[in-house]
Structure 1
């Protein structure tokens, strides 16, 4: 049984109207109806008597309402004990998004001054799973084109940069050609760790007709930069935002030739109302777009 279903049930019980409950929850009405129907199936009872003119709690619904409210209060107490604000906007994020998050949160708070935000840093696959399960409210992700059960809204474009040791032969170049770098050992994340970035890099190499030597799969952006900085015969490809947040005097970040970019997206539940989706995209897009 999901806590989200209990929250939807309590809201409908208070409004006695599915449309008003959906507006209050900032979601589409069919999503509320589906959650209530699922909860009724799980409990094996009807919670509401529905007619075209009115919605009423059944006797079982009244009993469940009291227990549901107690459960939600208990959850808020747990969140408070953990330092998590009740009703917080939970955003799934990753390395290299600090400035975008700061701008986006400021934008959202201009519309809702009391907004509490909780950032959750997870690998991309876990980020999307948490969003599907209701443990996140939205996620930022690079390179994700589609995700079952979720809506992917392309929001910004970010260049991918070649990262080399300052002792690499290309370190003093204004741009780095993929063919030029192919003689060195390429470090990229495994497809299990970061499928979108892995695919973006391998697609760019394939389109350029380049087959570099591949080294051990890269780990976190910070570890990758440290390792490449210590090895003048290796290179990596990272989004500009990740490189910019990890200052290191031992590496150079060089634009690729031909240029390679990756698309960043706001990822949301499928049933999030259009105005909310538009507000999220507006908050996190590039400032020049």
Structure 2
């Protein structure tokens, strides 16, 4: 039995797919399948149910899973102990980010690389929901995320900005002369919003569900700037942070009331579990950079 086999097994269970697990591990998919088959042959039991569209652990696989995770965690702990005692900062750091934010990420990564050239950095983009899941699952060391009124549990957060969420309309829109709008008044309006999984979109969907309606989202785009541009062209009402509208003269911002909506952008990392010296150094550098901003 090899640690690599346990690592592959855990990755396939967490991704529920051999191809995604291989991409996560940066190896060829046939290699993942072959190593897991060898592990199953050695144990004399099938660990994975491959019959459905997604891969699931068998009863034996589910029993093995916590022990496999514990073994991998123990090995990680050995490496961390050595690095702590020797003062070495090396290895790999995985950082994720939403597509739209005001963090000077290039400066952060450049300064970190200058201080720790032996550390390999991987940068990925995803929705806030996807980033939170990756942080909790240990696939990311840190991430820039957006969220609504309730911070996601299980994470440490260093807040970058907090902003009011507004309804943005073009200057010639029938609502342009108003300064506020109740959430319920958006019930039958054509809205422009971020896709599902984005922090602001989750905040909007939850607020509308509480108010008893489903918002009519006619257009979706991955960044608030694109939402604002669509609203300026008269295609609907964009749900965006107020800061996006302040930078434009062709839009009017209506503060959403009853309830008011506020969002936050934060640098996040897992609250529990081992943190490598490299990840700890990156988190420290990020907090310094955010403090300077």
What is the TM-score with the length of structure 1 in the denominator?
A: 0.53
Paired residues of 1:155 and 1:263 also in contact (CA < 8 A): yes
Compared CA separation, residues 156 and 181, structure 1 to 2 (3 A): farther
Root mean square deviation of aligned Cα: 4.8
Alignment partner of 2:190 out of 185, 189, 204: 185
Compared CA separation, residues 136 and 223, structure 1 to 2 (3 A): same
Q: Are residue 163 (structure 1) and residue 162 (structure 2) matched?
A: no
- Give the match for residue 146 of structure 1: 152
Paired residues of 2:142 and 2:268 also in contact (CA < 8 A): yes
Alignment partner of 2:101 out of 97, 112, 115: 97
Per-residue deviation, 1:265: 2.7
Per-residue deviation, 1:219: 3.3
- Give the match for residue 238 of structure 1: 240
Q: Could you report, residue by residue, the CA deviation over 1:230-284 in whole angstroms, capped at 9, with x for unpaired residues?
A: 335x21212356x37xx877x5262625564212233223225599397266246
Query: Which secondary structure does the structure 2 equivalent of 1:142 belong to?
Result: strand
Paired residues of 1:108 and 1:283 also in contact (CA < 8 A): no
Gaps of at least 5 residues in structure 1 are 28-85
**Paired residues, what number?**
215
Paired residues of 2:180 and 2:256 also in contact (CA < 8 A): yes
Compared CA separation, residues 205 and 132, structure 1 to 2 (3 A): closer
State how far apart, in whole Å, the 2-side matches of 1:7 and 1:189 are: 36
Paired residues of 1:155 and 1:286 also in contact (CA < 8 A): no
Q: Are residue 263 (structure 1) and residue 267 (structure 2) matched?
A: no
- Give the match for residue 128 of structure 1: 132
Alignment partner of 2:232 out of 229, 237, 241: 229
State how far apart, in whole Å, the 2-side matches of 1:95 and 1:10 are: 31
Q: Could you report, residue by residue, the CA deviation over 1:25-78 in whole angstroms, capped at 9, with x for unpaired residues?
A: 999xxxxxxxxxxxxxxxxxxxxxxxxxxxxxxxxxxxxxxxxxxxxxxxxxxx
